[in-house]
Amino acid sequence: MQPSWKRRILAALALAALLGTVPAPAGAADYKVISNGAVVAGAQAEMVSGQLMTAVRPYAESLGYKVSYDSKSKMITVSKPGYWLTMWIGTHVAFQNDRPVWSPVKPYIKNGQAMVPAWWLAVRLGAEVSYSNSTLTVQNGYQSPKSEAGINPNPRPDSPFADPTYVFPFPEGATTIIRYGWNTLGGYRLTIELDDHPGYKFYYAHLSGYAPGLYEGKHVKKGQLLGYVGSTGEGPEGTYGKFIDHLHFTIYDRNWNAINSYPLLKYWEGNKAKL
């Protein structure tokens, strides 16, 4: 007589033959992301460690943010005027307006797209978020602007750099150091004012040190070395290492309102000074 377990296997196969097939295991859930009432195309949503992951570019752009990715440093930047969030592939650490935050799942690359935790990013971007029936829904009221071809939908007429074609001239004239030395939050920092546009200022923070010969009131020019990237700040003088080395750079207008520096940095990247 055959053992009982063999009889059970034979009985199961016989039943499957009568029914026509052996049932296959259930497939993975078909996840979906909806942003401001529309399905996010190219989201590539998938569940990882209990977090719904989504492609950051289409997701953040659907909420009105700009997204950039630097393949060399593996840095992802999500930004809009007055706000930026920086993440890196393969690390939990991120920075939101120069404050360290923690991603529950490390960003990674899938099919050429940077993948990030969808719920976490929605909260960081100030959007309302919910999840039900394998669908994540976010809402912040953003609607894609409709503008004529070739026209900048968000001009800055109050800025000396404003140009509807996004051509931003770097100031060729001299600039003056108006702040120099330690700051509790910014560490070793430097603020320079543009002589050609009085009141407009460039701010550099968290430096590890300054270039020789700098002091408050000194004139500096395009292409001149000012200092070195570091992680100083968030404490008394000499504090460093509370976050990864990086350069905090901000442009301020006459009223100390921050200006979105991203388009300027992209222009300068293609028009570097020859040292």
Q: Which residue has the higher pLDDT, 81 or 137?
A: 137
- Read off the tokens for 6: 């063999």
Q: How many CB atoms lie within 10 A of CB 114?
A: 20
pLDDT of 130 above 90: yes
For residues 132-148, average pLDDT: 81
Please name every residue paired with 207 in a beta bridge, in sequence order, or none if there are none: 188, 229
What does the pLDDT read at residue 106? 95
190 phi, psi to nearest 5 deg = -145, 130
d(CA 151, CA 167) in angstroms, rounded, equals 12
Q: What count of residues does the chain have?
A: 275
What does the pLDDT read at residue 120? 96
pLDDT, one tens digit per residue, over 167-196 is: 233 455 568 889 998 999 999 898 988 877
- Read off the tokens for 43: 């989201």
What domains sit in the chain, N to C, each tagged with a CATH number? 32-139 (3.30.457.10), 175-269 (2.70.70.10)
Q: Which residue has the higher pLDDT, 171 or 133?
A: 133
pLDDT, one tens digit per residue, over 232-260 is: 899 888 888 888 878 888 888 888 888 87
d(CA 212, CA 189) in angstroms, rounded, equals 14
Written as one string, the DSSP assignment of the chain is ---HHHHHHHHHHHHHHHHSSPPPPPPPP--EEEETTEE-TT---EEETTEEEEEHHHHHHTTT-EEEEETTTTEEEEEETTEEEEEETT-SEEEETTEEEE-SS--EEETTEEEEEHHHHHHHTT-EEEEETTEEEEE---------TT--SS--TTSTT--TT---PPP-S-EEEEEEEEETTTEEEEEEEESSSTT-EEEEEEEEEE-TT--TT-EE-TT---EEEB-B-SSSTT-B-SS-SB-EEEEE-TTS-EE--HHHHHHHHTSPPP-
Predicted confidence band of residue 274 (pLDDT cuts 50, 70, 90): low
pLDDT of 12 above 70: no
What does the pLDDT read at residue 152? 36
pLDDT of 154 above 50: no
- Give the percent of the chain with pLDDT over 70: 74
pLDDT of 13 above 60: no
pTM over the 0.85 mark: no
Report CA-CA distances (Å) from 144 to 35, 62, 94, 250: 12, 8, 27, 27
